[in-house]
Structure 1
Amino acid sequence: MALAEALDAQGQSKAALDWMVRAAQGGWMPAVSRLGLWQLVGHITPKAPALGVARIVQAAQAGDPFALHLAAILDSGAVGTPRNLGRALYWLARAAEAGDGRAACQLGLLCGDPDLSLAALSAAAATGFEPALAALAGRAPTVPAFDWDAIAAAADLSAFAAPVARNVESESPRILSIPDLLPAWVCGYVMALAEPALDRGMVVDDDGAERVKDERSNRVMHFGLVDSDVILELVNLRISQAAGMPPENAEGLGVLHYAPGERYRPHMDYIPQTPENARQLEVMGQRVRTLLVYLNDGFEGGATLFPRLDAAYRPAAGGALIFDSVTDDGAMDPRTLHEGSPPTSGEKWVISKWFRTKALRPTAS
C-alpha cells in the first residue's frame, strides 16, 4: 500500500493501481478502503461507485478507522448509496468506540441527552480534538462508563429539519435571505473544524487556473469528500434544501475567514465561458447559485455588497443569503457582481456554497 501511494504521488498511475489492488487482495483493510475510495471517485481507475462503496463498507465492518470515517460520510451524504442516517450514526459509534475523537465529538454534539452528550464530548476532548474542547466551553468533563450505541440512539437531528423561512430581497436578480438556517452550535463546530486548515483564498482566472491575487486577501478552507463528516453532510443537506438545489450538485463546503481589513473585491461567482474553461464547464457545469451562511456576530462591517444593485446584506449569525449568478435562461448575469467587504473590527466567518448545473458526486443511482 505504501508503494502504491508513493507511485500515485509520482504520477505512475498504472503501477500504483496494481500495487493497491495487490494490497487489497491480500486482505489489508486500509488498502481495501483506499481502493474503494479510488473506485468511488474515479481516481486512476474508472468510476465504479457501487464497487467502491462495497469495499469501503467491507473495510468498515472490519474496523478500519479510515473506512469507518468514509462509511459515515457516504451514508449521511448519500454518496454512491441511498442516504441512511441511522447507519451513519452506527459507523460513528464504532469509530468512537475505537477512540476516534472526531466521531465522539459528533455524537456528543448530536446527542439530545445532556448527560450522554457531556460524556461523549469529554471522551472526544480527552483525545485532544479541538472542536470538542471548544464545545465543552468550560464545563467540567466527565468520563463515566457509557454505551456508544445509546449515545447514537439519543441523537436529535431536528435542528437540520426545522422549517426554512425565505425572504425575497430582490426579484431580479433573485436574492433571498433566510434567518436562523443553522444553530449556534453547528456554526461553532464548523469554525473550529476549519480554522487549523485555513489558507489564502484563490481566484479563478479567465484561463481557468486558480491563483492568489491581490483582489482576494481572506483565508479559506474547502472541505472535500474525505475532509467531511456526518455533521458537515447534514449541513450540506440543510443548505442544499434551503437553496432548492440537488445536494450532489454542490461544490465542497467552503469556510471563509476575514480578519480586519481582509476582503474579496467585487467579483462574479459564475465561471467565465472561455476556451480554457470549456472542459471544466462540460464536466462540472456552470455555477448558477450561491448560498452564504454568516457563522458569527461580534464584528463591525463585513457585509456582502452588490455594487450594481446598490444593496448590502449582513445576516445575523446562522442566517443565510442566496443569490443566482445566471438568469432564468442560463445566461451569465453581470448584475450579481458582489464583494465580501472587510470587517473593520473583529473576525468574520462565512460558509460559501456554490451549486452547479451538473452532479459533482456519485449518487445512489
Structure 2
Amino acid sequence: MTQASERARNALDSGRQQDAVEIAQEAGARGDAECLAMLARWRLIGSPLPRDLGEARRLLRAATSAGSEDAALMEAALTANGTGAPQDWAGATAILQETAQRYGGAAAQDLDLLGRMEIDADGYPLALPEPERLGQGYEVRRWRQFVTPEECAHLAMSVRDLLAPSIVADPRTGRAIPHPIRTSSAAVIGPTRESLPLQAIMRRLAAATGTRVEQGEPLNVLHYAPGQEYRAHMDTLPHVTNQRKVTALLYLNTGYLGGETCFPEQNLSVAGGGGDMVAFDNTLPDGSPDPRSRHAGAPVRQGAKWAATRWIRAQPFDVWDQG
C-alpha cells in the first residue's frame, strides 16, 4: 500500500469520505497504481463514489498499466464477464497472459489451468459428457466428472478468505441471524473475483443446461462440516419477475459420508462424487414454482463436503443492478 492509498483508506475509515476521494484522485492523477485501483473499486461498489462501471474499467486499465497486479487480475475478470463493456474473452486472456509474464503467481496458475481446459475462442467447451437422467416424471440430470480435480480445488480455494457461517436477514428486525435452513458455511464469488478458469466452468455449466451464461447468479460455494445440512426447501424466490429456472450443483470433493441431495417428493437421493454436477428445473412450463423441485442436502456424517451452486434465472441476471 502506498502512502497516498493508506491516507485515503484512513480518511475513509474515519468518515471523511470527501477527503478520501480527493487524496485518491490526486495521487491517481500522478500515476499511483494503488489509488487508481482503489478508485476503481469505489466506482464498482458505488461508495464513496457513484457507481460507474465504464469508469471503473478505465481506472483498472490505468492501474494495470501503472503496475498493480490486483488491478490486472480484476480487469481480466471484468473483461471476460462483460462488466462495463461487452464480453471480450480474447482481451481478457491477453491481460492474463501479460500479468502472468510480469508477475507469475496467481495469474500464471490461472493461465496454466486454463490451458488444460478444452475450450473454444470464447471460453465455451468443445465437448460435453452426456448426463444420466434420474427420477420418474420429474427429471434430475447428473454429469459424472463434469469438472476436474484441479478445477474443483480452484473453486474451493477461490473463497478461502470469504467463507462465513450462512446467515439470513431476520424478516422482523432486518438483523443478520443464523440461516434457519442451511447450517453450512458459504461464500459468493462476485464478478470481480471470477477468474478466467471459473468463468470457463460457468460457460461449461451454461452449455450443459441449455442456458446462457448471463442468466446465472454468482457462484455460491458451500462447506459442510459433520452434522451440517441444508434442510428441505425450494430454490424459487417470492415476488420476482425473473425466477430461478434451473439449479446447478457441483460436488467439489470426495471422502465424506452423508450429504446426499434428496428430493422427498420423488423419493430420490442423489450422491455426487467429486467433480460431478447435478441440475434440475425449479419451475413449471408457465414459470410458476414446481413443488417437485423441493430438495435437501442431507447431514454430513463424517468428513467435510464442498459444493458450489449456481442458480440460473429465466432471463439474463445483472448482479450490478438489483435495486
Match of 2:200 in 1: 234
Q: Which residue of 1 aligns with 2:290?
A: 333
CA shift, 1:174, in A, is: 5.3
3-state DSSP of counterpart to 1:194: coil
Q: Which moved more, 1:298-307 or 1:9-18?
A: 9-18
> Residue 56 of structure 2 aligns to which amino acid in structure 1?
G
CA–CA separation in structure 1 for the residues paired with 2:212 and 2:119? 20
- What does residue 35 of structure 1 align with? 39
Q: Within the alignment, does 1:194 sit opposite 2:159 as a pair?
A: yes
1:181 paired to 2:146: yes
Given that residues 161 and 238 in structure 1 are in contact (C-alpha distance below 8 angstroms), is that contact kept between their aligned partners in structure 2? no
Give the letter for the 1:95 counterpart: T
Whether 2:280 is the aligned partner of 1:323: answer: yes
Q: Secondary structure at the match of 2:221?
A: strand
Task: Give 1:124-139 correspondences, 5 Å limit.
Answer: none
Shift of 1:271: 2.5
Three-state SS of the structure 2 residue aligned to 1:189 is helix
The CA distance in 1 between the partners of 2:71 and 2:64, in whole Å, is 5
Counterpart Cα distance in 2 of 1:254 and 1:215: 16
Output the TM-score relative to the length of structure 2: 0.81
8 A contact 1:299–1:343 mirrored in 2: yes
Alignment partners' CA distance in 2, 1:353 and 1:214: 21
User: Structure 2 CA distance, aligned partners of 1:210 and 1:323?
Assistant: 30
Could you tell which deviates more after superposition, 203-212 or 182-191? 203-212
The C-alpha deviation readout for 1:214-269, integer Å capped at 9, x for no partner, is: 53322222222233322122222222332333323322222112222211111222
The residue correspondences of 1:1-365 to structure 2 (distance < 5 A) are 1-6=5-10, 8-9=12-13, 16-40=20-44, 42-111=46-115, 157=119, 160-169=125-134, 173=138, 175-203=140-168, 211-213=177-179, 215-273=181-239, 281=240, 285-356=242-313, 357-361=315-319
What TM-score comes out, normalization by structure 1 length?
A: 0.73
Distance 1:221 1:22, change over 3 A: same
- Displacement of 1:157: 4.0
Separation in 1, partners of 2:16, 2:266: 51
Structure 1: how far apart are the matches of 2:46 and 2:65? 23
Deviation at 1:18, TM superposition (A): 4.6
Change (3 A) 1:192 1:41: closer
Gapped regions of structure 1 (runs ≥ 5): 113-154, 274-280
CA distance in 2, matches of 1:23, 1:328: 55
Between the two proteins, the alignment pairs up a number of residues equal to 312
Residues 327 and 172 (structure 1), Cα distance of their counterparts in 2 relative to 1, 3 Å cut: farther
Q: Distance between the aligned counterparts of 1:85 and 1:335, measured in 2?
A: 38
Distance 1:43 1:171, change over 3 A: farther
Deviation at 1:292, TM superposition (A): 0.1
Cα offset, 1:291, TM superposition: 0.7
> 1:64-94, CA deviations, whole angstroms, 9 ceiling, x for partnerless residues?
2222111111233233333333333332233
Give, in angstroms, the shift of residue 295 of structure 1: 1.4
SS at match of 1:308: helix
Q: Is the 8 A contact 1:288 1:355 kept in 2?
A: yes
Q: Distance in 1 between matches of 2:274 and 2:54?
A: 39
Native 8 Å contact 1:265 1:341 kept in 2: yes
Residue pair 1:290, 1:323 contacting (<8 A) in 2 also:
yes
The range that moved more, 1-10 or 91-100, is: 1-10
Bigger drift between 304-313 and 196-205 goes to: 196-205
Q: 2:153, 2:252 within 8 Å by CA — same for their partners in 1? A: yes
CA distance in 2, matches of 1:43, 1:358: 25
CA distance in 2, matches of 1:79, 1:19: 26
Moved more, 13-22 or 237-246: 13-22
Aligned pair in 2 of structure 1 residues 336, 164: CA closer, same or farther (>3 Å)?
same
RMSD of aligned C-alpha atoms?
3.2
> What amino acid is aligned across from residue 267 of structure 1 in structure 2?
H
* Residues 81 and 191, structure 2, Cα contact 8 Å, conserved in 1: no
Q: 1:177·1:319 contact (CA, 8 Å) conserved in 2?
A: yes
Structure 1 residues 172 and 11: alpha-carbon distance in aligned structure 2, compared to 1, 3 A threshold: farther
Are the counterparts in 2 of residues 260 and 342 from structure 1 also a CA contact under 8 Å? Answer: yes
